[in-house]
Amino acid sequence: IQSFYQISADAHDLHLPQAVGWFNENTQKVRFFVLSQIADLSDKSVLDVGCGTGFQSILLSLCGHDVEGIDLSPNLIEKARRKNPRDFLARDLFESPFRFGSVYSRRIRKVVESVRGSRAIGKTHYQVASASQLPFESQTFDLVNCCGSTLSFVEEYGKALWEIARV
């Protein structure tokens, strides 16, 4: 799995529908709704398991939360580290094959600005790590985010769930 993502890391930032899970417009409307409902975490610390190139980490940091992102792929982590969340306040989050992409980006900016209020944009930090052996003390985070198909790629699924609950 790690080898696959090392090789395919560049595809994650091409923003092809398959690379970011954009299979149809309705799926993205649902994602937006879910994010808008959980975004107000009031200065919580967040662990983003399987962060990839940092898309969800950036959204949560724009809401004012400090985010620690982990992924097995050093190439994906390097791409995440190169991104500055502030850049996404002034432009679309990504290029989309759907016209909803620009609308989605504008709505996300409104949500994160509303949630963040006068608070600063949260910090992001990324490191290579496995979901089944998290390098953090127990009860380090207020919330663990694990989106997409991340857990379906974890070989030690039960151990990863235990680790997620632990931190």
pLDDT value at residue 8: 57
Residue 135's pLDDT is 98
- Only one residue has tokens 């919330």, namely 143
Q: What pLDDT sits at residue 63?
A: 84
Say how far apart CA 108 and CA 92 lie, in whole Å: 10
pLDDT of residue 3: 63
Residue linked to tokens 């149809």: 24
The predicted model scores a pTM of: 0.78
Listed in sequence order, the residues at least 6 apart from 100 whose beta carbon sits closer than 8 Å to its beta carbon are 25, 28, 29
What average pLDDT values come out for the chain (167 residues) when binned by 10 residues? 58 51 56 58 84 87 91 94 87 69 78 82 96 97 85 89 96
Q: What is the pLDDT of residue 20?
A: 47
pLDDT for the residue 24: 54
Residues ≥6 apart with Cβ < 8 Å to 119:
43, 64
pLDDT of residue 40: 57
Neighbour tally for 79: CB within 10 Å = 19
Q: Tell me, what's the pLDDT at 62?
A: 87
C-beta neighbour count of 42 within 10 angstroms: 10
Instruction: Give 14-52 as a DSSP string.
Output: TT-HHHHT---HHHHHHHHHHHHHH---SS-EEEEET-T
